[in-house]
Amino acid sequence: MLERLAGNEPLRRDLAAALAANRLAHSVLLCGEKGLGAGFAARCLAADRLFPSGGPAAEAVLAGQSSECIEVRGAGVQGVIKIDQVREVRRRVYDTALSAAGRVVILYGAEHLNAASGNALLKIIEEPPEGVLFVLTAASSAAVLGTIRSRCAVYALAPVSEAACAAWLRKNCPGAAGQLAPERLAALYAGQIGKAADALRDPARGAVLTDALRIAGLAAKGQEYPLLTALAAYESAKKPKPADKKPPEPAKKAAGRRAAAVKGSGAAVSAAVTTAAEPAAADPVGPLLADLACIGSAAARMAAPELGLPPQKAARLARLAQDAAAALAGNVSRKLVLANLAIALARP
């Protein structure tokens, strides 16, 4: 299944060789920013470890519906992985019978382990049960607790080339054109297939990117009032209260939907499957700022000349968007952050 991961030939080769030689570490850490496919790579590795011959059982792992693959995700706005979740993993790997294939535990976002859950996980991976493989994902190895990182074999994922990203989008997301044309998305996201596919497959996500492109264009012209107006539209865009949310999709139905997505994408399945299987963010401010940072970075390396942003101003756009995101994470007033961002972007 690792061959289905787009790009990352050295990573695929190293993991496949370790599996073939039966020398894969009992704990693996796959590092890559969101959109690079670390989660999908984790499921590919799990499928190859459990069911090297492939088939329906391996496809079930990719779809997230295999009883031999335990998946753990963080909860809440911050995505924190709590100690109770790790304790449940321990119970399942120690107190339930393993099949002949063994078992894999995939822990998404290992950087979100807190001290308590990290220590609980450490006790398991220091002396793991026979036949159990732990696969952790994280945005970067530096963000993971040192005690956890030191007990894992660390592998890094890289973006595919922009040409390969555009080719994948043309094949798997037909009909894209205009501002969301495959070539443009590949340049804006620097080959990150998952992010580009999200913009095409999720209308709300595509609308946020369209807004970000418009804001970048206003920044290029230094139009302060339109910038204030455009960003003010995001001041009240907050996450809905729990009572306002739709009921969660039944597990069986969600699993079937993910299985259909995997089956339909064939050998070219990549990072996009990972992000498509996860719920879109309800608060669009984070994605907007992330898109502004991507647009600024693309324009700085002359990958988006149509925006009219000179390299120096483009680099400043990327930096200001990142600073605004950091301020919001620190609970600074959203209205103040967005107003200051608009004023700063309008400066020559």
Cβ atoms of 285 and 296 within 8 Å: the answer is no
Q: In the chain, what is the greatest distance between 2 CA atoms, to the nearest angstrom?
A: 66
Whole-number pLDDT of residue 221: 92
**Is the model's pLDDT at 271 over the cut of 70?**
no
pLDDT tens digits, 239-249: 444 333 344 44
Cα distances (Å, whole numbers) of residue 238 to 34, 77, 233 = 22, 12, 11
Q: Which residue has the higher pLDDT, 61 or 267?
A: 61
Whole-number pLDDT of residue 247: 43
Beta strands in 2-88 (DSSP E): 27-31, 69-72
Whole-number pLDDT of residue 239: 46
The span from the CA of 333 to the CA of 305, in Å, is 33
CATH of 2-156, picked from 1.10.760.10, 3.30.365.10, 3.40.50.300, 3.40.50.2300, is 3.40.50.300
Reported as a pLDDT band with limits 50, 70 and 90, residue 275 is very low
Cβ atoms of 345 and 219 within 8 Å: the answer is yes
**Is the model's pLDDT at 286 over the cut of 50?**
yes
Picking from 256-260, 275-279, 311-315, which range would have the lowest pLDDT averaged per residue?
275-279
The span from the CA of 176 to the CA of 202, in Å, is 12
Whole-number pLDDT of residue 59: 94
> Who contacts 18 (Cβ-Cβ below 8 Å, separation ≥6)?
24, 25, 153
Whole-number pLDDT of residue 171: 85
Whole-number pLDDT of residue 180: 86
pLDDT tens digits, 125-163: 998 888 899 999 999 999 999 999 999 999 999 888 899
Reported as a pLDDT band with limits 50, 70 and 90, residue 274 is very low
Whole-number pLDDT of residue 132: 93
pLDDT tens digits, 73-85: 997 767 899 999 9
Reported as a pLDDT band with limits 50, 70 and 90, residue 296 is very high
Picking from 220-229, 254-263, 325-334, which range would have the lowest pLDDT averaged per residue?
254-263
pLDDT tens digits, 157-200: 988 889 989 998 888 887 777 778 899 999 999 988 888 988 99
pLDDT tens digits, 155-165: 999 888 899 89
Whole-number pLDDT of residue 78: 75
**Is the model's pLDDT at 98 over the cut of 80?**
no
**Is the model's pLDDT at 281 over the cut of 50?**
no
Whole-number pLDDT of residue 237: 66
Q: Quote the tokens at residue 238.
A: 């907050």
Q: Taking the model in full, what pTM does it have?
A: 0.70
CA torsion sign for 37, 42, 47, 53 is positive
In the chain, CATH 3.40.50.300 covers: 2-156
